[in-house]
Chains A and B, each alone.
Chain A
Amino acid sequence: MLLWIAFSLMTGAAIMAVLWPLRTGAALPAASTAEADLAVYRDQLTEIERDRASGLIAPAEGEAARTEVARRILRASAERSREGASSGDDRRRRLVAVVALLGVPLMAGGLYLALGSPLYPPQPLAQRLEAQPNPSDVAILIRKVESHLEANPNDGRGYEVVAPIYARIGRLDDAARAWANAIRLLGPTAPRETGLGEALTAQAGGVVTTQAKTAFEAALTADPKDPKAQYFLGLAAEQDGRKAEAAARWSALVAQSPADAPWLGLLREALARIGAPMPATLTAPAAGPGAADVAAAESLTPEQRDAMVRGMVERLEARLTQEGDDIEGWLRLMRAWTVLGQQDKARVAAGQARTHFTSDSGALGRIDALAHELGLGS
């Protein structure tokens, strides 16, 4: 608000610069050109007199100069008598006033709105550093941690906090250094080692360097099941040309992963790249067929695909018999059997589901609604 008031005052000042002289200046006569010339010539005459009096110029020289200036004065006087009086014109002045009143705000305002950022406050550094931590000002958060670490270079937690942020904003050198410091001060853990390895790999443009490999191996020492470390070591093997090792690592990782693990898509792509099959995951897909399954399905014959889908549904059914309180799972199973043309199996699933949710009217309602929708009767 203050800003807009300041803008208005400034605009007003600019307009007044035009309006004020229009009012006050109207009464003034314009200084005549010849008049001004005459003033200069009179000055020159006095100057010549002064020079002659102090002996700076010879009397004859002075006389010549006087004659010349006198000639100029005569000429200027003649011009003055020819010069007409200047005229003011109210219509002209009104036009100028209107141009100032409308033109200045329109032009300045329009241009400013196109170029400026009026809603964006000033951000002096000192003020940003003193302010309460503001999660949107990542740069300052980092800076604060940095200055804290400068003062307490042995605070491993600080490095651990700032390292992933460095990695996210692309300061990979700093990320790697921070992870290394965190490991040095707090001891190796799988996330720290993989963080270091990832930063080093990203820094090398996606190549798992020897250093990065060491980090990933250290991560596996800390946690033999760490998926990131396994993936990247597989990648290292692939980059070294050892495809069999890569396939082995990745397959093992797939086999130990839950079916909804977010890295499965990546692994499927990786395995496809080196021409290895995608093995089954640890458990049946909980969230429907993963992207990996779909892609795998595409390369199969219809019979194989049918078998694969059936296998997936059976895996789901096996899981639900053990952990029956997953309403979403049951609903998906009913749908799956219906799609496969096995209405009776779908009906069985609906019945089994009901037994698990006898006390849950909401769940029962959903089962009934779906059974109705799928035309399974009730």
Chain B
Amino acid sequence: MNPEIGHYALVLSLAVALLMTVIPFWGARTGDAALMKVGSTLALVLAGFTGLSFATLVVAYVQSDFSVLNVVENSHSAKPLLYRITGTWGNHEGSMLLWVLVLAIFAALVALFGANLPARLKANVLAVQGSVATAFLLFILFTSNPFARVIPPPAEGQDLNPILQDIGLAIHPPLLYLGYVGFSITFAFAVAALIEGRIDAAWARWVRPWALTAWAFLTLGIAMGSYWAYYELGWGGWWFWDPVENASLMPWFAGTALIHSAVVMEKRDALKVWTVLLAILAFSLSLLGTFLVRSGVLTSVHTFATDPSRGVFILAILVFFIGGSLTLYALRAPMLRQGGIFAPVSREGALVLNNLLLTAASAAVLVGTLYPLALEAYNGAKITVGPPYFNLTVGALMLPVAFAMPFGPLLAWKRGDLAGAAQRLMAAFGAAIVIAALAAYAQGGGPVLAPFGMGLAAFVVIGALAEVIERAGFGRVPRATAFARLRGLPRSVFGGALAHAGVGVCLFGIIAETSWNAERIAGVKVGGSFEVGGYELTLDRLEPRNGPNYRDLVGVFTVRRGGVDMGTIESAKRLFTARNMPTTESGIRTMWFSQLYVSLGDELPGGGVGVRAYWKPFVTLIWIGSVIMALGGALSLTDRRLRVGAPKPAKKPKAKADGASPVPAE
């Protein structure tokens, strides 16, 4: 396919996005139904053109069309097909195009499934999406054009950054972008509400599923990125408090707060103004994350995208959207009607506490991330805000969140009974104490706080299940009735409980890994052995192997525990020939939830090789817990009460049901 088709589709996308910003907005101002409807068709066409553009770029990558500069700079014909495809978004230009594509797809989904949205709200939402798309398309076309051509074309590309040649790259950025950009929809809803000066009842019903979708993807994206860094960088760390990681964590905190406050808003018509603010913040922080990664203001493990000239452009986008939306908020928020009052001790109260702690955590990460940058810009001093700061602040804020988490769902709306909730959590509390005691016994003389942490994690997991058991009425009503009720529980209840349990599981993994991990750095000759975490590793042989575009030096280790042979671990140092860059391919052996991690260093003079080996107890729970959280979000999303937009045959004869609405379908 001709790359010029993709280029023209991109240019056309800009024209369409511009119209999509102006026409539906004008329609909403003047109440012109036809103009408002134009927004929907434009959104579909925009998705089509950006999709075509992206597909063209993928084809250029697959076919190794080296007349496209972007392909030359980031691909190599010897690369396996999968990495040629993922290479499309493994670079700045391609990833920005993916960003806009996701944005356009989300806008198209609103256009397709928003038939029962108030027309004005829908038109404004699409106009806001259009404006975001316009800004980013301008950015792509004028500073990061993926369709620039090279004449004459070289015969070979410069290869993709080796650490990005990994299955992790196929998954991590798209997930993260689905998360980041998903918040653009809630942002668009918030701004649309502010423009109109009123929040429709449908507003909350729409915002919650979008926030949930974005949040679930963001959770998976962050977890995936963390695991990727863990096995690819060879340091055995799973979270570095790297600014780029922080950039994804900030919208995650804000998004987590948003999905909770949206519940209050939907159920109780309260916290509207706050929810609007959170929706704006979540996307603003996503934009900030994009800015931090894409502008090159940071130097970190993600340095694959650095070009200072682009920074100013993104900064302008940032100022326009964040500044603009917050100004609009300041002007219009007082006009929004407050509703629903509640006592401090109530479900709403618990959710407000959650929101306050989460936004505080988000702010703590923001300060820790931006302060060094601001300081450097101000007086050139280079400082790093390291893990101690983040562990202390975020940790201190997350502990009460974790502790309060099981209480929230057990409190009634409007007026809750804290003592009653505590009583119902007695079982969970007891189990937590048992686990803490077991942990203390098992670790012997380890870190004092570890058993408390394990107890807390257990409390969160069991407390999450307590909610389901409690709501079904086990122990209060006959078992048959309880089971019947259990089946009747809305899926969002299960989803919430699952997500909360996931937090507990993740917490368990974090505490276990940080308290009890063992590290061993050794120089080993072939035939030599060393011990880590109770396992004996013997370096059997070092052998070179050839891949399609790299050469490996593989170390094969035999693992023994108590003299029993447990098989081998292979760890490699990989040299990518095109860029002459080495990467580490860690050897990881998973045993239940724990992992033995072996990473190969440099070859030592006189034979042998440097080896870093780690024993990481329960480390996989960190990611398993995150996946459980995302699954909880997905489960909650399938709750039919939330699927307002999906056309669905009415089960009841009454003119009700979720999809059917009084508004004629388009």
Contacts and interface: CB of A to CB of B under 8 A. Distances in A.
Contact of A88 (B34, B152, B654): B34
A93 B32 contact: yes
Contacts of A237: none
Interface string B116-153: 11111100000000000000000001000101010111
A40 B153 CA distance: 59
Interface in A117-134: 117-118, 120-128
A39 B662 contact: yes
Given A37-B202, A39-B661, A125 B11 contact: no
A139 B12 contact: no
A139 B151 CA distance: 11
A3 B5 contact: yes
Contacts, number: 238
Nearest to B662: A39
Contacts of A126: 63-64
A136 B152 CA distance: 8
Contact of A10 (B12, B60, B141, B664): B12
Given A33-B118, A115-B145, A89 B200 contact: no
Given A112-B7, A122-B1, A122-B65, A29 B33 contact: yes
B30 A122 contact: no
Interface string A57-85: 00001001000100010001000000010
A76 B119 CA distance: 16
Given A89-B32, A139-B156, 6 more contacts: A17-B42, A36-B121, A43-B656, A72-B269, A117-B151, A120-B151
Contacts of A6: 5, 8
Nearest to B205: A40
A166 B485 CA distance: 78
B65 A125 contact: yes
B11 A112 contact: yes
Given A21-B40, A25-B38, A32 B118 contact: yes
B663 interface: yes
Interface residues of B, number: 86
B38 A96 contact: yes
Nearest to B196: A33
Contact of A28 (B340, B656, B664): B664
A13 interface: yes
Contacts of B414: 64
A223 B460 CA distance: 88
A307 to B, nearest CB: 54
B155 A26 contact: no
Interface stretch (B15-23, B496-504, B523-531, B583-591): B15-23
Given A43-B658, A72-B201, A121-B2, A10 B34 contact: no
A18 interface: yes
Contacts of B151: 117, 120
A18 B154 contact: no
B200 A36 contact: yes
Interface in A19-69: 20-22, 24-26, 28-33, 35-43, 46-47, 54-56, 61, 64, 68
A125 B145 contact: no
Contact of A21 (B26, B41, B120, B340): B41
A11 interface: yes
B33 A10 contact: no
A92 B23 CA distance: 10
Contacts of B38: 17-18, 21-22, 25, 96
